[in-house]
Chain A
Amino acid sequence: MLSFQSLIFLIFAPLIASLIILCPLFPSTDTAVRRFSKWFSVCHFLYAITFLLLFQSQNPVLVLEDELKLFSLHWIDTLGISATFSMDSLSLALVLLTTFIFFIAFVMSKRTIKKDFKIYYSLMFLLEMCILGIFCAKDLFIFFLLWELELVPMYFLISKWGSVNAKASAMKFLLYTFFGSIFILLGIFTIYFYSYSISGVLTSNMDMLITDSNLYPPQIIYFAFICFLIGFGVKLPIVPLHTWLADAHSDAPTPVSIVLAAILLKTGAYGLLRFNLSLFPDIFLTLAPALMFFAAVNCIYASSLAVVQKDIKRLIAFSSISQMGIFLIGLFSVNYIGLSGAVFQLISHAIIAAGLFTVAGILYSIYSTRDIDYIHNHLKNSPLFMFVSIPIILAAVGVPLFSGFIAEFLSFVGGMTSDFGITLPKILTSISIFTIVLSSAYILKLFHSCFFGVRDLNFTRDISGHRLNVLIIISVIVLFFGIFPNFLSDIYMPFIDTTVDMLGVQ
């Protein structure tokens, strides 16, 4: 580990940026704040890359640990709570993703955000800090603190800069996700105090907690598991708990929609991987075949809803839910291929969703409407726009050579090879495969309205500048990970290896 690499600094650098922007001396013009944010996020991304190099050059199963101490004090001594953070390969992959997506979001804020620049960018940085903290938290209560803290900037980002209905949607988002947090808190309390009653040590460090299911009465450990499942299921979202998502996504401004779909949903997925899978492996294996049902419902129900949407942002939002269904299939198959496909899907979907929302944002800025019936662009009016967005559209459909295909393929193969002794999970997986058909239906509907509408000879609506650059970057990444998936999967593979070892499955 090099001397300048500090995990705490990696997580809390956005907070520093946020405070710098909020400082009264900082200029309040759009350009100044945005350029600062953009270059800061570039530097932050490069700083995160140095961690990748560290993991690659030294030891891939490395786990970095660090503790935040204010005035050299632990956070709360007597309750065994300390602000400990750790980074393994899964955290590393998600941290890299987060820093990258925030860079995209900052670039896309140009001309989308039209007022109160200082507070907008500082809230975005605060949000980034929370999400990085969630991906690295080692302590249950620090995790929960950051999990709740993330709601506050998100509420303001949606309600203040969103569209007409944004206030109601933001409140819905806040109440729904807090409802999920209630269950997470119950789960945290259960294992925190039960582990204390077994070991006599009050601690909330994930490594020191005792979650061995043999030491617990079954009802208590199942209770904790289901609490976490519901809590993270709201964020992911799993279908009966999904209704906040479409409103929040469609009413948020474009950069915030990008962050919501690309990263915020992944915190729920991360919770499932880190809590449900790693803390309660036995119960996870027992319940996984039954939970596969939810995965199938997610896939089919959400993509059917997406097909009938008129609002492009809602369409993409429902497509996100169905894509998370594919993640769930990989996760609940609980084998090597399925798990690696699930994590691949997280990252691939994040980049694709960022791309799709960028396209939607550009269309909105041209037509000032999100209604698919009123958007009728023609490819000859905007050839460049079409050329750079085709890879994103194809990746969203899941065409080979693009990253979406790899993720779907691995997840479905995982589901089909799942070994639970019963055939139900395989039947459910084969039903879910039809989501690919539905996804091509809704994505092509979007594509059609984008580029095969009425041609207006006097009017060209092509893109240039920052929007073009963003779409080029995303397209290249989607194509690159589709052709060389190893570059991505090598980053998080150590996590899959250790998990599979721990579970004792194939």
Chain B
Amino acid sequence: MNFFYDILIYNPQELVLSFFIITGLLLSLFNNERLNKFAYLFALFGIITAILSTLSINITTGMGHGNSFTSSNLFSVVSKTLILFSALLIIILSRKIISEYSKKAFEFVTLIFSGVLGACCLVISNDFLTAFVSLEMLSVSGYLLVGFTKTQRAKEASIKYLIQSCFASALLLFGVSYIYGLSGSIDFYSVSDFCFSLSPTFFYPALGLLTIMGIMFKLGCVPFTNWIPDIYEGASYPVGAFISLVPKIAGFAFLVRILAFIFPHMPIATLALQIIAVISVIYGVFGAISQTNIKRLWGYSSIIQSGFILCAVSFMTVYSLSSVLFYLGVYIFMNLGVWCASYQFNINTGSDLIADNEGLYKKRPYFSIAYTICLISLAGLPLTAGFLAKIYLFSSIIKSGLEYFSLLFILLLLSLGAIFAYFNVIKNIFVSSSKLLSFPFKYTTADMLLYFCAFLTIVLCLIPNSFIKISQIVSFYIN
């Protein structure tokens, strides 16, 4: 009873999500056409309830409490809110796919919900077992979502995702089993105590890195990068947006959590993560420059952004973590914005190619401007929140020590390449061509969401004060 009460008080979002997953599964059994029409509203209602339930957490007293499986703090609450909020936007985006596959509408909604539940549990997990189970929950719903449309491409992507993800999970499990064998515990606190008592030996850091490698898969960093473009290409647009947001936020929150326990005993992690990050950005930039398919471009773009964030994570200072949090918040909007725009384009023209965007400005000027704002934000130029977030992130690198100048310089040079890749799309949008004039452009939820994202990207740059303050306060509560 006490256990249940704890969950209700400290983790109400997970409870709400579980309730809606079970209800959704039950409703999908009826397979009633009239009922299926309500799937979209059901999903909206579920996710909004989960977001609102966050308000019931008493921030002043409830923090830092945990049973052995989970523990909550302000950082995990905020990351969960980010996850839920991006899930809300993705559900709005997938309105069309829900009505198109109305027979499986509840199935789709339940899969999204279980993915979000997995992500939320990952964020609050307090031992490796909970973490592993929730990671698998996130991944399994990911495989199913990728293969949801059942085209040849989607099936291929789904299988590829499954195999690669299993390999990464095996690595994680391998590392965890060694940690368990050495310390006799899987609880983060006990592991941390054990590490403290241990003199740093050669293989201990290696085991820690093995564990971190498992998470790198979710973030899409080196060495697990090659799945991203293929799977984004195979998945439908809303699912692609889902995979580029939810696992990433959850992965970073979990990485920060693990590092907060293990990091003080593992100084080599900083160097290792920086090397991983820089190689990821190089990989992403060189992949993105020559891209012709827009979904693959977003794939490489997500690798680039992960690399940038990972660099700041590696320092684990309050300043750098607050910049990570701010970046993640901004990343939701700019990334979702470009997904929405390319989805809307795909709905109306059926094309995935960057070159087909020619003449978009002539056809839909305001749409193109909003699209361009999101792209400029990803490229990190003002007057968008992407610029501010990037400057904040980069300043955290220098703040950690003037010796990191070379790292920052490499990252800045690489962002030059990223600018080239993003402006390639912008260039095509503004080409004068009347190719697209004959296509009818229907308004969908993706349209509305794009304007919303573009608007917020600008607003977050103009009035960032309170958001940065919040991110700094939250970062104090990592442990």
A156 close to chain B: CB less than 8 A: yes
Chain A residue at minimal CB-CB distance from B463: A70
Interface-central residue, B398, B413, B432, by most chain A CB under 10 Å: B398
What CA separation (Å) do A149 and B420 show in the bound complex?
16
A288 close to chain B: CB less than 8 A: no
By DSSP majority rule, is chain B's interface helix, strand, loop, or mixed?
helix
Quick one: CB contact mask for A62-80 with B, threshold 8 Å, 1 for yes?
A: 0000000011011111110
Q: Which of A195-227 contact B (CB under 8 A)?
A: 220
Task: Determine whether the beta carbon of B464 is less than 8 Å from that of A75.
Answer: yes
B292 close to chain A: CB less than 8 A: no
B200 close to chain A: CB less than 8 A: no
Task: Determine whether the beta carbon of A171 is less than 8 Å from that of B427.
Answer: yes
Interface-central residue, A77, A141, A185, by most chain B CB under 10 Å: A185
A159 close to chain B: CB less than 8 A: yes
Known: A155-B423, A175-B416, A178-B416. A145 touches B465 (CB 8 A): no
Task: Determine whether the beta carbon of A185 is less than 8 Å from that of B412.
Answer: yes
Chain B residue at minimal CB-CB distance from A15: B383
Q: Which of A384-401 contact B (CB under 8 A)?
A: none
Task: Determine whether the beta carbon of B399 is less than 8 Å from that of A156.
Answer: no
- Residues from chain B with Cβ under 8 Å of A148 in the complex: 381-382, 387
What CA separation (Å) do A485 and B432 show in the bound complex?
47
Could you list 14 examples of A-B contacts with CB < 8 Å? A70-B462, A70-B463, A73-B466, A75-B465, A78-B472, A79-B468, A115-B432, A149-B382, A152-B382, A167-B427, A179-B416, A182-B409, A186-B408, A189-B408
Quick one: CB contact mask for B189-223 with A, threshold 8 Å, 1 for yes?
A: 00000000000000000000000000000000000
- Give me the interface of B with A, judged by CB distance under 8 Å: 365, 376, 381-383, 387, 391-392, 394-395, 398-399, 402, 405, 408-409, 412-413, 416, 419-420, 423, 427, 430, 432, 462-466, 468-469, 472
What CA separation (Å) do A59 and B1 show in the bound complex?
78
Question: When the two chains form the complex, which single residue of A119, A185, A194 contacts B391, counting CB atoms closer than 8 Å?
Answer: A185
Task: Determine whether the beta carbon of A156 is less than 8 Å from that of B468.
Answer: no
Task: Determine whether the beta carbon of A73 is less than 8 Å from that of B399.
Answer: no
Task: Determine whether the beta carbon of B469 is less than 8 Å from that of A77.
Answer: yes
Minimal beta-carbon separation of A157 from chain B (angstroms): 11
What CA separation (Å) do A151 and B381 show in the bound complex?
9
- Residues from chain B with Cβ under 8 Å of A146 in the complex: 382
Can you add 4 more A-B contacts, CB < 8 Å, to A79-B395, A152-B381? A75-B465, A76-B468, A149-B381, A178-B416
Minimal beta-carbon separation of B392 from chain A (angstroms): 8
- Residues from chain A with Cβ under 8 Å of B365 in the complex: 119
What CA separation (Å) do A449 and B416 show in the bound complex?
41
What CA separation (Å) do A75 and B392 show in the bound complex?
13
Task: Determine whether the beta carbon of B463 is less than 8 Å from that of A152.
Answer: no
A174 close to chain B: CB less than 8 A: yes
A160 close to chain B: CB less than 8 A: yes
Task: Determine whether the beta carbon of A182 is less than 8 Å from that of B413.
Answer: yes
Q: How many residues of A contact B (CB 8 A)?
A: 38
What CA separation (Å) do A139 and B312 show in the bound complex?
25
What CA separation (Å) do A152 and B395 show in the bound complex?
23
Task: Determine whether the beta carbon of A178 is less than 8 Å from that of B419.
Answer: yes
By DSSP majority rule, is chain A's interface helix, strand, loop, or mixed?
helix
Known: A70-B463, A78-B469, A141-B391. A193 touches B409 (CB 8 A): no
A190 close to chain B: CB less than 8 A: yes
- Residues from chain B with Cβ under 8 Å of A115 in the complex: 432
Task: Determine whether the beta carbon of B469 is less than 8 Å from that of A160.
Answer: no
- Residues from chain B with Cβ under 8 Å of A70 in the complex: 462-463
Q: Which of A142-193 contact B (CB under 8 A)?
A: 144-146, 148-149, 151-152, 155-156, 159-160, 167, 171, 174-175, 178-179, 182, 185-186, 189-190, 192-193
- Residues from chain A with Cβ under 8 Å of B419 in the complex: 174-175, 178
- Residues from chain B with Cβ under 8 Å of A189 in the complex: 394-395, 398, 408
Task: Determine whether the beta carbon of A220 is less than 8 Å from that of B394.
Answer: no
What CA separation (Å) do A71 and B464 show in the bound complex?
12
Task: Determine whether the beta carbon of B427 is less than 8 Å from that of A193.
Answer: no
Task: Determine whether the beta carbon of A171 is less than 8 Å from that of B423.
Answer: yes
Minimal beta-carbon separation of A171 from chain B (angstroms): 6
Instruction: Please name the 6 residue pairs, one residue from A and one from B, whose CB atoms are nearest each other, closest first.
Output: A149-B382, A182-B412, A189-B398, A73-B465, A145-B382, A148-B382
What CA separation (Å) do A171 and B420 show in the bound complex?
8
Q: Which of A98-157 contact B (CB under 8 A)?
A: 115, 119, 141, 144-146, 148-149, 151-152, 155-156
Chain B residue at minimal CB-CB distance from A77: B465
Task: Determine whether the beta carbon of A73 is less than 8 Å from that of B423.
Answer: no
Chain B residue at minimal CB-CB distance from A179: B416
Chain A residue at minimal CB-CB distance from B471: A78
- Residues from chain A with Cβ under 8 Å of B383 in the complex: 145, 149, 152
What CA separation (Å) do A194 and B408 show in the bound complex?
16
Chain A residue at minimal CB-CB distance from B465: A73
Question: When the two chains form the complex, which single residue of B392, B405, B468 contacts A186, counting CB atoms closer than 8 Å?
Answer: B405
Minimal beta-carbon separation of B367 from chain A (angstroms): 13
- Residues from chain B with Cβ under 8 Å of A77 in the complex: 465, 469
- Residues from chain A with Cβ under 8 Å of B381 in the complex: 148-149, 151-152
- Residues from chain A with Cβ under 8 Å of B398 in the complex: 189-190, 193
- Residues from chain B with Cβ under 8 Å of A159 in the complex: 427, 430
- Residues from chain A with Cβ under 8 Å of B394 in the complex: 185, 189
Task: Determine whether the beta carbon of A160 is less than 8 Å from that of B430.
Answer: yes
Task: Determine whether the beta carbon of B376 is less than 8 Å from that of A152.
Answer: yes
Known: A148-B387, A190-B402, A193-B398. A175 touches B412 (CB 8 A): no
Task: Determine whether the beta carbon of B423 is less than 8 Å from that of A182.
Answer: no
What CA separation (Å) do A159 and B424 show in the bound complex?
12
Minimal beta-carbon separation of B188 from chain A (angstroms): 30
Minimal beta-carbon separation of A67 from chain B (angstroms): 13
Chain A residue at minimal CB-CB distance from B376: A152
What CA separation (Å) do A391 and B62 show in the bound complex?
78
Minimal beta-carbon separation of B407 from chain A (angstroms): 12
Interface-central residue, B382, B392, B412, B416, by most chain A CB under 10 Å: B382
